[in-house]
Chains A and B, each alone.
Chain A
């Protein structure tokens, strides 16, 4: 076909192939450089200087491709025109913009680099895609390959943000971490010279574990029960239970906090310290003179409200576990004459156990990190640990460094990153164990169940 159209510009096939690959490589290179510059421009204002030259380079490569394809291969290269026009339009937009945009009473002046990043992406990504497609042969599966840059860039930006935040958390948190902070508790003592405050995270750490333990103990029964009911029994109540667990999951955690406020502050405030109702709901502490005071809310109350959060998680996990029981195991147990109760206790629940434990751990991690529920019912953690003592946790300590009592803020603000780091270690530890159980041990465990 090409021999009939032989022109002065015709090249031997081998060299034509290499020029083709060279031009595709140029696409990929300029495109990737533009994408990298876009990512840098998200953090560095000065990187916007690179935008116009890089877009010009992309345009040049696209034009070179267009020319080569037209004059040598006699093919109309629509992709190159799209790439070139996108790059030119982007460059023109950037050239037309002043360094700062402001006006319309918007509360800030917008730097040009915030436009440079998307413009570079719009110019660079199509170039990379077209280049990858050409380099890998232009087949349909090459098109698959060429979509990876488009998918990878948003993921890369998101993980960049996570890394940026977590690196700061670790570096600042480790800086203030010491044995003293971990083993002492925050105290306020009245000296002759006035109040003396000393920093410490002990009660907050222990309080976090206390909340995790109590909440798990409270929520495991109702959670598993609701899960069994929804998956094993069909009757009108099933929908009611499903709706309630869905709604408990869907509503804001903050609404549970408001419920806690309503019980602890609105309701229990009318009862004096020493009254059992007040002691159970609000908790109590003794001051140095032996007087009984009512606290802001006990660990028990806090755990009960945290269990609102955990029950639906466990219910969902139990349901999932029960649904995955193979039919033959179910029918086998019935065929051998097992009663409903025996089947549930000996067959179904053991099978669903990994799911239940996973749900419990994930729920506990959520409970440990939740502040919105403790918002109104926790304290600074100077009154010790116990089911009826004043609730506190690491996450609440972080909150208090900004909105707590002034002395607490002054003493503890420097440890807020340490508290956050410890909280992160606890929650991520729970989450990681849960994932491990879910991913690694479940299959082996169930194989032994089914085999034995």
Chain B
């Protein structure tokens, strides 16, 4: 018979296990019917027409998967160099009190909820997206010849910026994948940077001091000693940031929208709106009604299936990171 601390902490500690198992089981049970009714054939089509658009209902989740990858790529591509610079600044290259200040600021910024970023998307639209990707096109004085449109057809009648008449659509910039990616990058920077800083400061002090003692400067030490040894920790931070970027729902629901009818063409077109898995799943489960969502059986199962895909992605990323970290650690073992 063990003492009570063991029994108590085991029974409490099993709560998260039960929670996780119940959630995974629920997702599997509810998403299995999706393999039956829309069928794997339809699920893997690059076409999506959901219940709130008229016509045939086609539940291909390829557009959503592409959307998830695009949003996560944009977010990580922006957040990685910035967090790396912040991590270096907070640990090895502190400038007086600036390193400590940076750590505090990151801690505080980490407390900003994602819905606040989602709401503030409008600022980035006004200050960045429209000027950069529509220019002065939204003004009536715009010289259409600049972009090759004939002056007679500009502005395009009483339906301004009709996406059918012109290949580009400034109003579509409000919902572009790029905008969602930038906001998610702002969300994950305060999350990744402290983790990366920890990875750097976890490198044994003796190694850094040995490098400095034989005459290397701090930059050389950072590049040749500290950063290579911190790579496993950095990888952990990167994978957590990636998972957060892929799993974010509020920013993409608010900014990018609920559904994408097809993957963007060309596939790297981040100015198109391509709703990721989270948003598509939420839309299918009835979240677009704000509350009391009731969804039809098929749509519901596809919604669960999309969520299950997210869980799978999380599992794969966590496992891959663990394996990679173990290999790297073995290689750089001292």
Q: Which residues of A contact B (CB under 8 A)?
A: 42-45, 98-100, 102, 104-111, 113-114, 140-141, 143-144, 147-148, 150-152, 154-155, 157-159, 161-162, 164-166, 168-169, 221-222, 224-226, 228-230, 232-233, 237, 240-241, 244-259, 261-262, 265-266, 269, 296, 308, 311-312, 315, 339-341, 344, 362, 365-366, 368-372, 375-380, 395, 398-400, 402-405, 408, 416-417, 420, 423-424, 427-428, 430-432, 435, 439
B115's partner among A344, A371, A432 (CB-CB below 8 A) is A371
A311's partner among B19, B127, B281, B293 (CB-CB below 8 A) is B19
Asked if residues A113 and B318 are in contact (CB atoms below 8 Å), the reply is no
Asked if residues A340 and B317 are in contact (CB atoms below 8 Å), the reply is no
The distance in angstroms between the C-alpha atoms of A251 and B20, with both chains bound, is: 10
- Please name all residues of chain A whose beta carbon is closer than 8 Å to the beta carbon of B19 when the two chains form the complex: 244, 248, 308, 311
Asked if residues B314 and A251 are in contact (CB atoms below 8 Å), the reply is yes
Given contacts A151-B89, A158-B82, contact A100 B146 (CB under 8 A): yes
Asked if residues B294 and A262 are in contact (CB atoms below 8 Å), the reply is no
The distance in angstroms between the C-alpha atoms of A233 and B6, with both chains bound, is: 7
Contact code string B271-290 (vs A, CB < 8 Å = 1, else 0):
11000001001100111111
Contact code string B1-40 (vs A, CB < 8 Å = 1, else 0):
0011110111111111101111100110010000000000
Asked if residues A225 and B120 are in contact (CB atoms below 8 Å), the reply is no
**CB nearest neighbor in B for A404:** B290
The distance in angstroms between the C-alpha atoms of A98 and B240, with both chains bound, is: 40
B217's partner among A102, A141, A256, A408 (CB-CB below 8 A) is A141
Asked if residues B116 and A246 are in contact (CB atoms below 8 Å), the reply is no
Candidate in B85, B109, B116, B215 with the most chain A CB atoms within 10 angstroms: B116
Asked if residues B115 and A155 are in contact (CB atoms below 8 Å), the reply is no
Show 9 residue pairs from A and B whose CB-CB distance is below 8 angstroms, ordered by the A residue. Answer: A44-B131, A106-B272, A107-B169, A108-B176, A151-B88, A228-B9, A244-B17, A258-B304, A362-B111
- Please name all residues of chain A whose beta carbon is closer than 8 Å to the beta carbon of B134 when the two chains form the complex: 108-109
Question: Does any Cβ of A come within 8 Å of B114's Cβ?
Answer: yes
Selecting from B49-57, B200-208, B241-249, B326-334, the interface stretch reads B241-249
Asked if residues A405 and B102 are in contact (CB atoms below 8 Å), the reply is no
B164 to chain A minimum Cβ distance, whole angstroms, is: 13
Asked if residues A252 and B115 are in contact (CB atoms below 8 Å), the reply is no
Asked if residues B112 and A428 are in contact (CB atoms below 8 Å), the reply is yes
Asked if residues B120 and A168 are in contact (CB atoms below 8 Å), the reply is yes
Interface residues of B in 233-287 (CB under 8 A from A): 240, 243, 246-250, 253-254, 264-266, 269, 271-272, 278, 281-282, 285-287
B250's partner among A42, A366, A371 (CB-CB below 8 A) is A371
Asked if residues B314 and A109 are in contact (CB atoms below 8 Å), the reply is no
Contact code string B105-138 (vs A, CB < 8 Å = 1, else 0):
1011111111111111001100110011111110
B27's partner among A100, A255, A366 (CB-CB below 8 A) is A255
Candidate in A162, A165, A240, A431 with the most chain B CB atoms within 10 angstroms: A165
**CB nearest neighbor in A for B135:** A111
8 more A-B residue pairs beyond the given contacts A155-B82, A259-B27, A269-B294, with a C-beta to C-beta distance below 8 A: A45-B131, A99-B135, A151-B85, A230-B13, A265-B293, A311-B15, A340-B6, A369-B113
Asked if residues A107 and B82 are in contact (CB atoms below 8 Å), the reply is no
Asked if residues B186 and A403 are in contact (CB atoms below 8 Å), the reply is no
Question: Does any Cβ of A come within 8 Å of B298's Cβ?
Answer: no
Asked if residues A376 and B287 are in contact (CB atoms below 8 Å), the reply is yes
Asked if residues A225 and B147 are in contact (CB atoms below 8 Å), the reply is no
The distance in angstroms between the C-alpha atoms of A113 and B131, with both chains bound, is: 9
B112's partner among A222, A254, A427 (CB-CB below 8 A) is A427
Asked if residues A344 and B5 are in contact (CB atoms below 8 Å), the reply is yes
The distance in angstroms between the C-alpha atoms of A64 and B282, with both chains bound, is: 61
Asked if residues A244 and B6 are in contact (CB atoms below 8 Å), the reply is no
**Which of under 10, 10 to 19, 20 to 34, or 35 or more describes the interface residues of B?**
35 or more
The distance in angstroms between the C-alpha atoms of A253 and B251, with both chains bound, is: 12
Asked if residues B291 and A376 are in contact (CB atoms below 8 Å), the reply is yes
Given contacts A165-B120, A222-B15, A416-B119, contact A148 B10 (CB under 8 A): no
The distance in angstroms between the C-alpha atoms of A269 and B295, with both chains bound, is: 12
Question: Does any Cβ of A come within 8 Å of B315's Cβ?
Answer: yes
Asked if residues B9 and A222 are in contact (CB atoms below 8 Å), the reply is no
- Please name all residues of chain A whose beta carbon is closer than 8 Å to the beta carbon of B123 when the two chains form the complex: 164-165, 168
Asked if residues A154 and B85 are in contact (CB atoms below 8 Å), the reply is yes
- Please name all residues of chain A whose beta carbon is closer than 8 Å to the beta carbon of B315 when the two chains form the complex: 247
- Please name all residues of chain A whose beta carbon is closer than 8 Å to the beta carbon of B293 when the two chains form the complex: 261, 265, 376
A256 to chain B minimum Cβ distance, whole angstroms, is: 7
- Please name all residues of chain B whose beta carbon is closer than 8 Å to the beta carbon of A311 when the two chains form the complex: 15-16, 19
Contact code string B166-199 (vs A, CB < 8 Å = 1, else 0):
0111101100100000100010010000000000
Asked if residues A161 and B282 are in contact (CB atoms below 8 Å), the reply is no
Asked if residues A222 and B186 are in contact (CB atoms below 8 Å), the reply is no
Asked if residues A423 and B115 are in contact (CB atoms below 8 Å), the reply is yes
The distance in angstroms between the C-alpha atoms of A215 and B95, with both chains bound, is: 40
The distance in angstroms between the C-alpha atoms of A311 and B317, with both chains bound, is: 22
The distance in angstroms between the C-alpha atoms of A340 and B102, with both chains bound, is: 41
